[in-house]
């Protein structure tokens, strides 16, 4: 697992150069706009809602003494929840809406790496790519919520909270990597087979997603470069994994 995570991270090496070599930057314009708009909406929402959530949670405190302290803690909890959920929503909205634009980019990278042409893959339309992107990301959003909400509550327990926070990060990384890999997988496998493929290679997905999540911590620049680099890295690694699996089947 650790080896695969590192391989997923190392796939980013050379991603920038590959994008430039294949002249792919122009294809990322609309996804970058989607990314900026989505991040802006979520950021303003988080700023405005954290105090409201804090005051709502504070209503459960029955005494006047300590109310201000409890309200401050509640606001912190509310802010933390908004930030974590905001990260989740951001990546799913961006990855789902960007699917029709990222799939052709992924295909160009695969053609460069393997020489394979479109007719050798499943042919999908703009509409089909968008629908698959929405379907995959809605599925992953609910899966991640089921895992993350209990972990958020546990994260406020001293010591144990540190481990819980790390697990939350890795869960988010896995599903981010999942989405990036699916831009390639949609040409090769149907919905169910793609899910099985990512589960089988979850270390690669986590490695890709770790860098994806770290990029989002970089103000402004992070949300601009995160999708181009993460999709390129995921494509190069996913193409390699598909090739290896095909060779094993032939044997």
What is the chain's percent helix, strand, coil content, to nearest 5?
85, 0, 15
Tell me how crowded residue 177 is: count the other CB atoms within 10 A of its CB: 31
- Maximum CA extent, the chain: 73
Tell me how crowded residue 161 is: count the other CB atoms within 10 A of its CB: 15
- Residue 57 pLDDT more than 70? no
> For residue range 147-183, what is the model confidence (pLDDT) as tens digits?
988 887 787 777 777 788 899 899 999 999 999 999 9
Are the C-beta atoms of 222 and 87 separated by less than 8 Å?
Answer: no
Highest-confidence segment of 10-14, 55-59, 110-114, 129-133: 10-14
Token pair 């499943």 is found at 122
**CA atoms of 179 and 161, how far apart (whole Å):** 27
pLDDT of residue 248: 61
SS3 15: helix
Distances in Å between the alpha carbon of 43 and those of 31, 40, 87, 161? 18, 5, 10, 24
Torsion over CA: 151, 79, 222, 108 (sign): positive
> For residue range 78-120, what is the model confidence (pLDDT) as tens digits?
777 777 777 778 888 998 888 888 888 898 999 998 876 554 5
> For residue range 202-211, what is the model confidence (pLDDT) as tens digits?
999 999 999 9
Token pair 């960007």 is found at 98
Are the C-beta atoms of 231 and 12 separated by less than 8 Å?
Answer: no
Residues shown for the chain: 251
pLDDT of residue 211: 95
pLDDT of residue 119: 47
Q: With pLDDT > 70 as the criterion, what percentage of the chain qualifies?
A: 84
* HSE (side-chain half, CA atoms, 13 Å) at 168: 23
Are the C-beta atoms of 1 and 227 separated by less than 8 Å?
Answer: no
């Amino acid at each position: 697992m650790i080896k695969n995570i590192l391989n997923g991270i190392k796939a980013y090496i050379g991603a920038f150069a590959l994008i430039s070599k294949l002249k792919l930057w122009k294809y990322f314009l609309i996804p970058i706009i989607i990314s900026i708009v989505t991040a802006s909406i979520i950021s303003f929402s988080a700023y405005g809602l954290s105090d409201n959530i804090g005051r709502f949670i504070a209503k459960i405190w029955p005494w006047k003494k300590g109310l201000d302290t409890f309200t401050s803690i509640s606001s912190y909890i509310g802010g933390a929840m908004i930030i974590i959920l905001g990260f989740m929503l951001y990546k799913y909205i961006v990855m789902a809406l960007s699917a029709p634009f990222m799939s052709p980019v992924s295909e160009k990278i695969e053609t460069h790496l393997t020489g394979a042409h479109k007719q050798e893959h499943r042919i999908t339309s703009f509409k089909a790519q968008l629908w698959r992107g929405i379907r995959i990301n809605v599925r992953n959003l609910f899966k991640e919520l089921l895992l993350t909400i209990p972990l958020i509550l546990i994260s406020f327990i001293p010591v144990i909270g540190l481990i819980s926070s790390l697990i939350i990060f890795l869960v988010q990384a896995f599903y981010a990597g999942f989405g990036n890999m699916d831009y390639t997988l949609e040409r090769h496998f149907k919905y169910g087979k793609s899910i099985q493929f990512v589960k089988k290679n979850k270390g690669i997905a986590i490695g890709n997603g770790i860098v994806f999540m770290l990029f989002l911590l970089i103000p402004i620049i992070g949300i601009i470069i995160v999708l181009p680099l993460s999709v390129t890295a995921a494509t190069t690694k996913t193409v390699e994994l598909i090739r290896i699996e095909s060779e094993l089947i032939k044997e």
